[in-house]
Structure 1
């Protein structure tokens, strides 16, 4: 509403400076223009779609980046392979010549699991053992019993690990699902301590990241529709899924950020971004408001009406004469404003300031 008021104020000022017409009476639906003067120029009432938008640069990325840190001390003997997608049961990397295996689940690995333990992490482990094919005779529950120990030993043998029947804190990493390795933060032969970052992972589904100004908070709302022009020139539609916090540095503090970084999911998913150059920027058009199939005129055609009723009007020019018609105004975009009123039709000529 504030933008509309400013635009109308500008239009009225322009009209006053160029001989535009102001209706002096209280007026009804229509009235003669003051003095019967014709305007210096006219424009047509058009039927069109109005879209208020903002375009910024974006980059192809992956959602929900998060670090994977070492749980125990050791030497990296096989580094993470950047760009690969790792699923449950596969190794993320190797430490001391032993695989650190990815398993599915929301509960992080926070302790060694062994016979007699009880908890949601045990239930999570047993579900993975079952899904990976080691669930023969296994009861999936919160108890780490003899059946769990036997299943763990079968799984450890398949990994060429010593079949201890226990799962150490440095043996597995739990993540909600498959992950994309976006960076290897520890290289081959690096010595890592507990808490050191070994790699950074993200969800495999590609997203577009774009930065808005702090004043564009409304565009960052989840569900805001966008049009993306990809590096190849192809266009794709998408929507905002949320904002992204600044990444923390080595001290654990987030970097300063003046704007708002948003993540956008493309409607076509991974297929929409297939073959695109992730290093190139793309154009992201945010649509904050849209009105379809409405009557519109140039903003400067709208005139402020004086009198106790006030409001806005258009100077209709027809047959060498002019008359003022009261109108209701709507959204503005690209120099046009939505108008409606009794008798207003597409193709009518309205007065505007001379160009």
Structure 2
């Protein structure tokens, strides 16, 4: 029993903590990269609402066909919908269609139309702000390319053309009669034919006036562009996100929403983080499967108290596109990096000297040696260091990170 009895002093000695020792880590040589990591939601870029102005229609705006499916693409110059049997053609432009354009119309909307027609290779003539005969013919080619008949002019304008043509025919007949009377007077050796000549001159002037009126009537009756048959969207092509109408239904403003054809990932950051980012920075997208996808920061916009960072992949395979669609994605954006491998120590190894400079404690031959250092980039718990002045620090040496 005596061999099993322990004094309080012995028990305390056996359970006492060991002598404190220094915790060290080696000086490493590595490439450091400071980065911002977060998660963002994938979506198609730049959603917009597409509306059709139907105030110019004389019948109810009933959807009769071409209703797109969600996920389909809207391309420029093609019908994105049919209303009362007529197409609504999608064109790229920032100014909405707000009136029917007819020959003789002038304004910035005409200029935008002619710029669009010219870009599509439809030859609107001189690109200016006036809707002329060349513009009208280019509009006809636009409809032909889309697979539809060109719009018809107002019935009153075609009636005016018929009336003007009749006036030309009448003026031409009167000129024929006046010339015949002048010729008859000359054949009869009438000395004074001034009356007959005056009648011919008047008839010729009347014919010129009638022909000019006929030309003007035909110009006004050339192909118009109805306000209800064009929908301008800022950029095309776009992907249909939501359809707000159905066949047989009535159009009332917005008919669909569409986003850009390119898929992007949007993550939210605070103001301090946003200041470290700029458009064009490289990034990577990681779904947790396979190789990360290379990307770039497209834009940074303020959204309330936060900032939206929009990141676009450089290139996507069909399988990657399928995985990314509507997914929540890990995004990594390097903001600084060292040029190659550098000396690095754990951040915990750094301390401040009496002069305010940084230093590390290096164990050499069992003794601690304080080495002043210049600190560079910090990332992932490590800091880039370089010995200051004549001090020395080498890869593999042990630095104290705790006790």
**TM, length-normalised to structure 1:** 0.75
Q: In the alignment, what sits opposite 1:147?
A: 134
CA shift in 2, pair 1:130/1:333, >3 Å: closer
Q: Counterparts of 1:224 and 1:174 in 2: how far apart (Å)?
A: 32
Report 1:119-158 matches (<5 A): 119-130=107-118, 132=120, 134-135=122-123, 138-156=125-143, 158=147
* Conserved? CA contact 1:219–1:286, under 8 Å: no
State how far apart, in whole Å, the 2-side matches of 1:277 and 1:152 are: 40
Q: Is the 8 A contact 1:44 1:350 kept in 2?
A: yes
What is the CA distance between 1:133 and its match in structure 2? Answer: 5.9
- For 2:127 and 2:104, the matched residues in 1 are separated by 14
Structure with the largest fraction of strand: 1
Classify the secondary structure of the residue corresponding to 1:216: helix
Equivalent position to 1:71, from 50, 53, 60: 53
CA contact (8 A) 2:54 2:227 kept: yes
What SS does the corresponding residue of 2:227 show, helix, strand or coil?
Answer: coil
Work out the CA distance in 2 between the residues paired with 1:312 and 1:299: 11
Deviation at 1:201, TM superposition (A): 1.8
Q: How far does residue 115 in structure 1 lie from its aligned partner after superposition?
A: 0.9
Structure 1 unaligned spans of 5+: 1-37, 247-256
Contact 2:349–2:399 (CA under 8 A) maintained in structure 1 = yes
Distance 1:277 1:241, change over 3 A: closer
- The structure carrying a bigger helix percent of its residues is 2
Shift of 1:333: 1.9
Residue deviations 1:240-290 (CA, integer Å, cap 9, x gap)? 1113576xxxxxxxxxx5533221111226779434341332211232332
Structure 1 residue 185 and structure 2 residue 244: aligned? yes
Contact 1:63 1:203 in 2 (8 A): yes
Displacement of 1:68 in angstroms is: 0.9
Partners of 1:299 and 1:232 in 2: CA distance: 32
Correspondences of 1:1-355 after superposition (within 5 Å):
40-72=22-54, 74-78=61-65, 79-130=67-118, 132=120, 134-135=122-123, 138-156=125-143, 158-164=147-153, 165-175=223-233, 176-193=235-252, 196-230=253-287, 232-243=289-300, 259-268=306-315, 273-292=320-339, 293-306=341-354, 309-341=355-387, 342-354=391-403
Q: Aligned-pair distance for 1:116?
A: 1.2
Aligned residues of 2:376 and 2:384 also touching (Cα < 8 A): yes
TM-score, L = length of structure 2: 0.67
CA drift of 1:215 comes to 4.6
Between Structure 1 and Structure 2, how many residues are aligned?
Answer: 302
| Structure-2 change in CA distance of 1:138 and 1:43 (3 Å) | same
The CA deviation at 1:66 is 1.3
Q: Which has the larger radius of gyration?
A: 2
CA contact (8 A) 2:274 2:300 kept: no
TM-aligned CA deviation for residue 154 of structure 1? 4.8
Q: What per-residue deviation string (whole Å, max 9, x for no partner) do you get for residues 209-267 of structure 1?
A: 22234553225532333211136543112121113576xxxxxxxxxx55332211112
Q: Deviations over 1:322-343 (max 9, x none)?
A: 3211111123222212211142
